[in-house]
Amino acid sequence: MTDLDWVPADVDTERPSAARVYDYLLGGGHHFAGDRALGDLIIARLPDARGIARSNRAFLRRAVAFMVEQGVTRFLDLGSGIPTVGNVHEIAQRADPAARVVYVDHEDVAVAHSRLLLRDDERTDVVQADLTDPDEVLSAPEVRDLLDTDEPVGLLMVAVHHFVPDHRDPAGLVARYRAALPRGGYVAISHLTADHDPEGMAEVTAAMAASPDPMFFRTHDQVVALFDGMELVAPGVVDAPRWRPDPGAADLVDPTHGVYAGVGRVAPPNA
């Protein structure tokens, strides 16, 4: 990268961030040397890291498309990261040009670039806030406006909870946001796990431990518990490639493991 005009002046570009490392693993262009170094370290310890990142991104696309098919036209994306090709507003507005999206992230570069990229899109908003502080997020005017409706809302918490330590009560956070949604909305969650590769994921945990974004992998049962109070959409919480795969991908014999994913429905109207 040579043009850094969009980078806030007080950002330490030498210190890696999870958002920029993820962008690097996806093949994006908004990362710095420290992010690439950490990304390469993760790849060395977990050779399928890029595949896992792409698998998670593909789940996001399919989950948003599914929600639009169910009539959802409003989306709240928590921990949205750095916008890259195939982000939520592109997916949703391709299916329904009236779709509206509010992105929420706490990372300065992610927010700055989101605002730059989306400045001409009247149906998108960007809020700088920490998802682990739901009162701050839900009190933001952009979010209040999005939720002040009887229309269903799609809440996206994709690849974020593995940055939330147990003492911040991940399931409680989901419940707090779920309670704020209009009835009939949906919640999409994906979460890294060490179930399939304990040794490799332990090395990733070690690599991230000294970064600003340490990671906390969880089991299948723990990820399922995040959907308490919701009706899980079939096929439930599964490896990300197994969640409603695209036609032609259903015969995957050895899908990329490492991410559990699912979508839950908030109590429908008149339930």
Q: How confident is the model at residue 85 (pLDDT cuts 50, 70, 90)?
A: low
Share of residues in the chain with pLDDT > 70 (%): 90
Cα distances from 234 to residues 6, 56, 240, 243, 252, in angstroms, run: 41, 18, 13, 8, 18
Average pLDDT over every residue of 82-88: 76
Mean pLDDT taken over the chain? 86
Domain parsing of the chain, residue ranges: 48-196+210-265
Cβ atoms 100, 124 nearer than 8 A: yes
Q: How confident is the model at residue 2 (pLDDT cuts 50, 70, 90)?
A: very low
Tokens representing 153 are 């809302």
Chain segment 9-39, per-residue pLDDT in tens: 556 667 787 788 888 888 887 788 888 988 8
Between 167 and 3, whose confidence is greater? 167
Chain segment 185-219, per-residue pLDDT in tens: 999 999 999 998 888 888 888 888 777 788 899 99
The reported pTM is 0.89
3-state secondary structure of 129: coil
Q: How confident is the model at residue 1 (pLDDT cuts 50, 70, 90)?
A: very low
Please report where in the chains the tokens 């850094």 appear, as a residue: 4
Query: What is the chain's alpha carbon radius of gyration, rounded to the nearest angstrom?
Result: 18
Tell me: domain 48-196+210-265, CATH 3.40.50.150, correct?
yes
Highest mean pLDDT among 34-38, 152-156, 265-269: 152-156
Backbone φ and ψ of 231, nearest 5°: -95, 115
Cβ atoms 163, 107 nearer than 8 A: no
Q: Poorest-confidence range of 36-40, 45-49, 52-56, 61-65? A: 45-49
Q: How confident is the model at residue 263 (pLDDT cuts 50, 70, 90)?
A: very high
How much is the pLDDT for 195?
92
Chain segment 97-137, per-residue pLDDT in tens: 999 999 999 888 788 878 877 888 889 999 999 999 999 99
How much is the pLDDT for 209?
79
3-state secondary structure of 225: helix
3-state secondary structure of 150: coil
Say if residue 232's pLDDT is above 70: yes
Between 246 and 265, whose confidence is greater? 265
Say if residue 170's pLDDT is above 60: yes
Secondary structure (DSSP) of 157-190: EES-GGGS-GGG-HHHHHHHHHHHSPTT-EEEEE
